[in-house]
């Protein structure tokens, strides 16, 4: 019996699963299914909201009235936090990596519209972002506020619950569909979705392998990050989970030019899925991961998804990240 921590009900759940009949025709043996977590909401959408249900419940539990979090200028997580803060009557302060752009586009536009306070921290000073967050917490405290800090992507021992809980939903999905995929695959950027799926699939006895395509860093980074989050989760919530034998399968080779920048193959994949199935990926996370998945499937027995007859892709959202990169699509 799982002892769940406090949780707010913020996401539209359960999300549907779509079978990609047309797109999957290119494979002889594989059918791709998509868990539509981009539909957890409209403005507050994607994977972050599942994690924030737990992070924000904890903030409330601690009596905080302000949220501080951080990420890239086009962070989906920061946008979700900015909007949820308004809905919950909390102030939001974002620390964004980079310089203030001339124009606010995509996620950043929504951050401003939602009234978030924004501090830009140049890339070269980014290592100090947690110190800056601690300073801001003190400033808020001196004004009589109480600020809760959420790390990048809400990927920590609290946010881990988001995709542990998603596995309970997946278990019911698979029973209803009478299909258990050979693989469940996600993009990984700060490790929390990947880690939550690894732990949750064990706890809910889901017989699928968990694989993740990294959109930044490398497999070693995600092995360490998942181990760290799971260790802290075990300590904080007194869980007796066997983390020694976790299989942390990160598929490398698809970062492309770098975090946030994609090659033409990713934009091509986005267009192909949109025009065949009416499902939209983004160039930063889901487009790269989906492209990586398809490329590995085409390698057949020599690929990292060998033997996949059914594969479930977790669509983690990110649509607003398409618009600042629209010049990369030919039309």
Chain contacts with ligand PLP (rule: CB under 6 A): 46-47, 76-77, 153, 155, 187-194, 282, 285-286, 316-318
Q: Angle formed by the axes of helices 286-298 and 264-277, to 10°?
A: 90
Other C-beta atoms lying within 10 Å of the C-beta of residue 224: 13
Nearer to ligand PLP (CB atom), residue 179 or residue 246: 246
* Closest approach of ligand PLP to the CB of residue 48, in Å: 6
* Closest approach of ligand PLP to the CB of residue 280, in Å: 11
Q: Angle formed by the axes of helices 219-237 and 192-203, to 10°?
A: 60
Task: DSSP for 42-77, please give it.
Answer: SSS-STHHHHHHHHHHHHHHTT--EEEEEEETT-HH
Dist. CA 145–CA 116, nearest whole Å: 16
> In this structure, are strands 147-150 and 66-72 parallel, antiparallel, or unpaired?
parallel
Structure tokens given for 272 = 């192909």
CB closest to ligand PLP, residue no:
318
Q: Is 225 helix (H, G, I), strand (E, B) or coil?
A: helix
> In this structure, are strands 183-188 and 209-214 parallel, antiparallel, or unpaired?
parallel
Nearer to ligand PLP (CB atom), residue 181 or residue 317: 317
Nearer to ligand PLP (CB atom), residue 24 or residue 188: 188
* Closest approach of ligand PLP to the CB of residue 175, in Å: 26
Dist. CA 256–CA 285, nearest whole Å: 12
Dist. CA 114–CA 58, nearest whole Å: 22
Nearer to ligand PLP (CB atom), residue 39 or residue 140: 39
Dist. CA 35–CA 170, nearest whole Å: 9
* Closest approach of ligand PLP to the CB of residue 245, in Å: 22
* Closest approach of ligand PLP to the CB of residue 319, in Å: 8
Nearer to ligand PLP (CB atom), residue 194 or residue 269: 194
Residues taking part in catalysis: 75
Dist. CA 269–CA 191, nearest whole Å: 24
> In this structure, are strands 31-35 and 17-19 parallel, antiparallel, or unpaired?
antiparallel
Nearer to ligand PLP (CB atom), residue 147 or residue 212: 212
Structure tokens given for 236 = 């904080």
* Closest approach of ligand PLP to the CB of residue 216, in Å: 9
């Amino acid at each position: 019996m799982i002892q769940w921590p406090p949780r707010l009900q913020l996401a539209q759940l359960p999300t549907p699963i779509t079978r990609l009949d047309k797109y999957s025709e290119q494979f002889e043996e594989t059918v791709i299914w998509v868990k539509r977590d981009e539909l957890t909401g409209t403005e507050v959408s994607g994977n972050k909201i599942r994690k924030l249900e737990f992070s924000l419940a904890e903030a409330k539990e601690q009596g905080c009235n302000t949220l501080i979090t951080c990420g890239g200028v086009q962070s989906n997580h920061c946008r979700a936090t900015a909007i949820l803060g308004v809905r919950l009557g909390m102030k939001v302060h974002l620390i964004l990596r980079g310089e203030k752009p001339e124009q606010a586009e995509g996620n950043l536009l929504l951050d401003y519209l939602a009234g978030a306070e924004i501090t830009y921290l140049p890339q070269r000073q980014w290592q100090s972002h947690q110190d800056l967050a601690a300073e801001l917490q003190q400033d808020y405290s001196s004004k009589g506020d109480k600020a809760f800090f959420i790390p990048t992507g809400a990927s920590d021992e609290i946010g881990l619950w988001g995709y542990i809980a998603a596995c309970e939903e997946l278990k019911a999905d698979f029973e209803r569909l009478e299909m258990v995929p050979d693989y469940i695959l996600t993009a990984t950027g700060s490790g929390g979705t990947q880690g939550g799926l690894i732990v949750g699939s064990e706890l809910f006895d889901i017989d699928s392998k968990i694989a993740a395509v990294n959109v930044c860093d490398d497999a070693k980074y995600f092995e360490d990050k998942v181990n760290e989050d799971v260790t802290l989760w075990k300590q904080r919530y007194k869980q007796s989970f066997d983390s020694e034998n976790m299989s942390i399968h990160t598929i490398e080779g698809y970062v492309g030019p770098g975090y946030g920048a994609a090659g033409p193959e990713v934009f091509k994949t986005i267009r192909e899925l949109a025009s065949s199935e009416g499902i939209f990926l983004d160039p930063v996370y889901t487009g790269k991961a989906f492209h990586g998945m398809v490329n590995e499937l085409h390698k057949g027995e020599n690929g990292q998804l060998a033997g996949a007859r059914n594969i479930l892709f977790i669509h983690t959202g990110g649509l607003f990240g398409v618009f600042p990169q629209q010049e990369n699509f030919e039309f």
